[in-house]
Amino acid sequence: MRIAALDDDPSQLDLVQRSVRSAGHECVMFDRGEGLLHALRRETFDLLVVDWQLPDIAGIDVVKWVRTRCEHPMPILFLTNRGDERDIVEGLSCGADDYMVKPTRVFELVARVKALLRRSYPEHERRMLQYGGYRFDTVAQTVEFEGQPIGLKQKEFALACCLFGQRGRLLSRAYLEEQVWGRAAEISSRTLDTHISSLRSKLNLRPERGYRLSAVYGQGYRLEALEELEPPHTAAAPLLQGEAP
Query: pLDDT at position 123, please?
Result: 76
Q: What is the mean pLDDT of residues 54-70?
A: 94
Cross-strand partners of 171: 221
Diameter over CA atoms, the chain:
75
| Least confident interval from 180-184, 192-196, 215-219 | 180-184
Q: Is the pLDDT of residue 244 over 70?
A: no
Query: pLDDT at position 186, please?
Result: 73
Q: Is the pLDDT of residue 239 over 60?
A: no
Strand stretches in the chain, DSSP E: 2-6, 26-30, 47-50, 76-80, 98-101, 128-131, 134-137, 142-145, 148-150, 171-172, 211-216, 220-225
Q: Tell me the C-alpha distance between 6 and 96, whole Å.
A: 14
End-to-end CA distance of the chain: 55
Phi, psi dihedrals of residue 48, rounded to the nearest 5°:
-120, 135
Query: pLDDT at position 122, please?
Result: 81
Quick check: helix, strand or coil at residue 55? coil
* Residues ≥6 apart with Cβ < 8 Å to 139: 127
Alpha-helical runs (H) found in 77-190:
85-93, 106-120, 154-165, 173-181
Question: Where residue 121 falls among pLDDT bands split at 50, 70, 90?
Answer: confident
Question: Where residue 188 falls among pLDDT bands split at 50, 70, 90?
Answer: confident
pTM confidence score: 0.76
| Least confident interval from 37-46, 60-69, 135-144, 178-187 | 178-187
Q: Is the pLDDT of residue 236 over 60?
A: no
**Domain regions of the chain by residue span:** 2-120, 126-228
Phi, psi dihedrals of residue 62, rounded to the nearest 5°:
-60, -45
Q: Is the pLDDT of residue 111 over 70?
A: yes
| Sign for the pseudo-dihedral over CA of 221, 226, 227, 232 | positive
Question: Where residue 66 falls among pLDDT bands split at 50, 70, 90?
Answer: very high
Q: Is the pLDDT of residue 242 over 60?
A: no
Q: Is the pLDDT of residue 235 over 70?
A: no
Q: Is the pLDDT of residue 228 over 70?
A: no
Query: pLDDT at position 37, please?
Result: 95
Whether the bond into 122 is cis, omega within 30 of 0:
no
The pLDDT > 70 percentage for the chain reads 91
Q: What is the dihedral of CA 150, 154, 155, 161, to 10 degrees?
A: 60
pLDDT of 74-106, one tens digit each?
Answer: 999 999 999 999 999 999 999 999 999 999 999
Query: pLDDT at position 233, please?
Result: 45
CATH architecture of the domain with residue range 2-120: 3-Layer(aba) Sandwich (3.40)
Question: Where residue 234 falls among pLDDT bands split at 50, 70, 90?
Answer: very low
CATH topology classification for 126-228: Arc Repressor Mutant, subunit A (1.10.10)
Query: pLDDT at position 127, please?
Result: 84
Q: Are 210 and 146 in contact (CB under 8 A)?
A: no
